[in-house]
Structure 1
Amino acid sequence: MSETDTVYISESKTGIWREASEFPIPNRAMNFGDGLFETMVFDGDKIRFFDFHLDRLRLGMDTLKIEGYSPAFAKLEDRIKDKFAGQRLRVRWNVFRSGAGKFTPENNDSVQTLHLQDLSPVPLVKQQASFSEQIALYPYPWSSCKTLNALQYVLAAQEKKERGLDELILMDYKGKVAEASMANIFWRRGKKVFTPALECGCIAGVGRRAILEKIPRLVTQGVFGSNELLSADQVWVSNATGISYLEKINSLEFSTEAWEPLEGIFD
């Protein structure tokens, strides 16, 4: 199964999903990145944290003024289960504004697409990380949403590859820790856990929310400099696919032993 040959499309006016090998061109997703996406894990029976994904998607559609969210969105899990029960899949769910137009939309109806792939496990440990030298994040009203305009993460992925790193840590425009290249970041000193607040421009990650709800009394959200991160006992990054512990940031080493309070969150 590949992301290009297992694709489905649905328009808000009909609500009917159909297989599709191509999309109308031009579209606002391609022209302007005018939409949102959710990357989800289907474990063969259910979509992990599906309610969290729905909440974030609904908030994102409200923020971008894209219409068409309905209770039918919650039925997506059953649709996938009916066709792919028993398979572990990475599900990319795009929701973008329909029509063409220029910057001013012709309408605010939505189009949805699904891209399905076999799920690859997240690495338990990422050996080498460093701070980005090229990317700084800004806290726009939509920064916490996963928008289709994600050039900062594309460029971060390129920088990570060029520098031979397993993970890249992104700072905000004030030089404060924001997130990782494709995940939120946490660190621990003793039993105290820290993670950047959304005001630093990071994504409101589904994995982030799962951790915050599992250990709420242990986590402090705030604005932190790199020195506060580097003084940690342990550092990890997380998204909907799971947790990866960072072994080294530059030359500093950190514990990669699984921390018991986090166990079971991503099962």
Structure 2
Amino acid sequence: MSDSDTVFVFSDHSGTWIPTGLFPIPNRAMNFGDGIFETMVFDQNQIRFSEFHQDRALRALEALGIKPTHFDLDLLQDFLATRFSGNKLRVRLNLFRSGSGKYTPNENSLSQALHLEPFHEAPRVKPIAGISDSIRLSHTPWSSFKTLNAMPYIMAAQERQKRGWDEILLRDAQGRLSEAGASNLFWQKGNEIFTPDLECGCIGGVSRRVIMEEAANCGLEAVEGSFYPADLNQAERVWVSNVTGVSYLDRIESKQFSTESLLWLDKLFD
């Protein structure tokens, strides 16, 4: 699968996805990071959790003041099913403001760009995680969405690499736990499942929503709140998750946790 076969843009004129060579460069996504993206999994003939992705993307576009004209994941799913039926793909959908201008836009219509890659499942266990010393996240009206300006996560990934970790945990400006480098953060203590609140600057992940709803369905108490690194000391299990699946953390710095699978959790991403 080559980039030339798997990069498309949406044509408002024809109402179809076309090769990226017909798309104007530069654009506001390139110049300002003026938009958001959704990372999804296309499996055989459908987009996993498509309704949740559609809901988050529409809320994100509203928050940024971008008109959602022609945004339709059902249409995208039909395109993928026609062209890539039987494949399992990682789908990156960029949604950004059309036109040019400087910081002040000259229009608020929507442009869409699509990049497809082979799907790679998240590793079941990440042996070593640490807490970032250099990156702090902030809560804003758009911090729960996946914006095209991902600089905090790029810098966090560099810190993780330099320190030889498999995962990095991020905090907000008040020192509260927020999320992992590219995933939401969860932990279990008895019958309770914990995850940081969106006010702590984390992404409102689709897998986060799926996990918290399923935990409640399984009779577990799903708790969102403000937590600090010390709150992890009493956890039995800690894991991170995005749409590619769940990774259990074996160790956070010197503290070790169980990596025994939770069947109700793992089956969500089968």
Q: Distance in 2 between matches of 1:46 and 1:157?
A: 31
Cα deviation, 1:10-58, whole Å, max 9, x if unaligned, reads 1445532101247422210011100110000111121110111000000
How far 1:261 moved relative to its partner?
A: 2.8
* Structure 1, gaps ≥5 residues long: none
Does the Cα contact within 8 Å between 2:69 and 2:109 map onto a contact in 1?
no
Counterpart mapping for 1:142-181 below 5 A: 142-181=142-181
Specify the alignment match of 1:33 in structure 2. 33
Specify the alignment match of 2:115 in structure 1. 115
Q: Distance in 1 between matches of 2:263 and 2:73?
A: 35
Specify the alignment match of 2:235 in structure 1. 232
Specify the alignment match of 1:241 in structure 2. 244
Range with greater deviation from structure 2 (231-240 or 66-75)? 66-75
Structure 1 residues 263 and 72: CA distance shift in structure 2, 3 A: closer
Specify the alignment match of 1:218 in structure 2. 221
TM-score by length of 1: 0.96
Cα deviation, 1:99-123, whole Å, max 9, x if unaligned, reads 1110111101111011001111110
Q: Distance in 2 between matches of 1:154 and 1:71?
A: 28
Q: Distance in 2 between matches of 1:126 and 1:3?
A: 29
Counterpart mapping for 1:1-267 below 5 A: 1-3=1-3, 5-12=5-12, 14-21=14-21, 23-70=23-70, 72-216=72-216, 217-267=220-270
Cα deviation, 1:71-115, whole Å, max 9, x if unaligned, reads 744221111011101111000000111111101111011110110
CA RMSD of aligned residues (A): 1.4
Counterpart amino acid of 2:191?
Answer: K
Counterpart amino acid of 1:194?
Answer: F
Does the Cα contact within 8 Å between 1:4 and 1:115 map onto a contact in 2?
no
Range with greater deviation from structure 2 (203-212 or 21-30)? 21-30
Q: Distance in 2 between matches of 1:247 and 1:52?
A: 30
Q: Distance in 1 between matches of 2:172 and 2:71?
A: 36
* Structure 2, gaps ≥5 residues long: none
How far 1:156 moved relative to its partner?
A: 0.8
SS in structure 2 opposite 1:43?
strand
Q: Distance in 2 between matches of 1:3 and 1:202?
A: 31
SS in structure 2 opposite 1:264?
helix
Q: Distance in 2 between matches of 1:188 and 1:240?
A: 20
Q: Distance in 2 between matches of 1:102 and 1:2?
A: 34
Cα deviation, 1:215-246, whole Å, max 9, x if unaligned, reads 12421000001110232110000011110000
Q: Distance in 2 between matches of 1:246 and 1:256?
A: 7
Counterpart amino acid of 2:168?
Answer: L
Does the Cα contact within 8 Å between 2:66 and 2:110 map onto a contact in 1?
yes
Q: Distance in 2 between matches of 1:22 and 1:130?
A: 44
How far 1:206 moved relative to its partner?
A: 0.5
Does the Cα contact within 8 Å between 2:66 and 2:109 map onto a contact in 1?
yes
Q: Distance in 2 between matches of 1:186 and 1:161?
A: 22
Range with greater deviation from structure 2 (255-264 or 87-96)? 255-264
Does the Cα contact within 8 Å between 1:12 and 1:109 map onto a contact in 2?
no
Does the Cα contact within 8 Å between 1:185 and 1:236 map onto a contact in 2?
yes
Cα deviation, 1:133-189, whole Å, max 9, x if unaligned, reads 110000010000111011011111111111111000000000000000000000011
When the two structures are aligned, how many residues end up with a matched partner? Answer: 267
Does the Cα contact within 8 Å between 2:37 and 2:148 map onto a contact in 1?
yes
Does the Cα contact within 8 Å between 1:5 and 1:21 map onto a contact in 2?
no
TM-score by length of 2: 0.95
